[in-house]
């Protein structure tokens, strides 16, 4: 007689997407997020992000504001039209020059920006924001 282990339901991990034209920064965010229990997807452009999001909408989006082609500001404008937009973490290497106005606009227009990162950022700063995202998603 064989005894089967009890059925344990598979709980899906939250999906985090990072959009940054700097591959090394995106890879760093991905590595940290996966270590904290997220499934992940990295995009180098807004167009690549929207292709992936058409398959599965992320729960959290880490978004660089300054990128070629469609920048983070335009991407935020498109996210505002989404029926279920992700939680957003904004990042930029321009010392808040872009972060503050984009964050204010996003929050005013219904997106939930849970934090910001100024490049270069420390591991601990990213971990705090990802922990906040996990906490909000668990509610």
Full strand arrangement of the beta sheet holding 113-118: 39-43, 15-19, 60-64, 87-92, 113-118
pLDDT tens per residue across span 1-59? 555 555 555 568 999 999 999 999 999 999 999 999 999 999 999 999 999 999 999 99
This prediction has a pTM of 0.89
């Amino acid at each position: 007689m064989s005894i089967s282990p009890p059925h344990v339901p598979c709980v899906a991990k939250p999906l985090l997407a990072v959009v940054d034209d700097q591959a090394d920064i995106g890879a760093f965010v991905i590595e940290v997020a996966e270590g904290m229990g997220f499934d992940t997807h990295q995009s180098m452009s807004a167009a690549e992000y929207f292709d992936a999001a058409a398959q599965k909408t992320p729960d959290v989006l880490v978004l660089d504001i300054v990128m070629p082609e469609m920048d983070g500001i335009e991407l935020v404008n498109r996210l505002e039209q989404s029926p279920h937009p992700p939680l957003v973490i904004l990042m930029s290497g321009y010392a808040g020059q872009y972060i503050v106005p984009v964050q204010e606009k996003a929050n005013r227009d219904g997106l939930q920006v849970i934090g910001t990162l100024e490049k270069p950022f420390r591991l601990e700063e990213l971990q705090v924001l990802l922990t906040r995202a996990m906490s909000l998603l668990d509610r």
